[in-house]
Amino acid sequence: MKTLFERIAAKEIPANLVYEDEHVVAFRDLHPQAPTHILIVPRKPIPRIAEATPADHAVLGHLLLKAAEVAKQAGLTNGYRLVINNGPDGGESVPHLHCHILGGRAMSWPPG
């Protein structure tokens, strides 16, 4: 069974896409936690970062480089936060690796 994010990447479920290529898709979060909240998701279904393997090296690097590009395109020139949740205690709600791009306001620390 496909994850929600696989279905978005396959355009089976509509989403507000802001970027896509053969490896990743980026779209606006339905429940934003900041003025700008974009998810960037690898098309390859990796359940979570703890389950990534050395074979995922290229897609993980691509994900981070594209996250920076998407943040720049979104106008986040004053800074932003990248978040990857892992497991239930880490806040993971969809078992498909994804990176949150949060910006448009000052971020506090600690985050949670």
Confidence at residue 1, expressed as pLDDT on a 0 to 100 scale: 87
pTM of the model: 0.94
Q: Whole domain around residue 94: which residue ranges?
A: 4-103
Residue 23 lies in a domain: yes
| Start-to-end C-alpha separation, the chain | 32
Total domains in the chain come to 1
Confidence at residue 112, expressed as pLDDT on a 0 to 100 scale: 65
* Residue 96 known to be catalytic: no
Residue 56 lies in a domain: yes
* Structural contact between residues 48 and 86, judged by C-beta atoms closer than 8 angstroms: yes
Whole-angstrom Cα distance, residue 64 to residue 23? 12
Confidence at residue 10, expressed as pLDDT on a 0 to 100 scale: 95
Residue 112 lies in a domain: no
Residue 111 lies in a domain: no
> In tens digits, what is the pLDDT along the chain, a chain of 112 residues?
899 999 999 999 999 999 999 999 999 999 999 999 999 999 999 999 999 999 999 999 999 999 999 999 999 999 999 999 999 999 999 999 999 999 999 999 987 6
Residue 110 lies in a domain: no
Choosing from 23, 37, 57, 98, the catalytic residue is: 98
Q: Which residue type is seen at 34?
A: A
Residue 108 lies in a domain: no
CATH of the domain at 91: 3.30.428.10
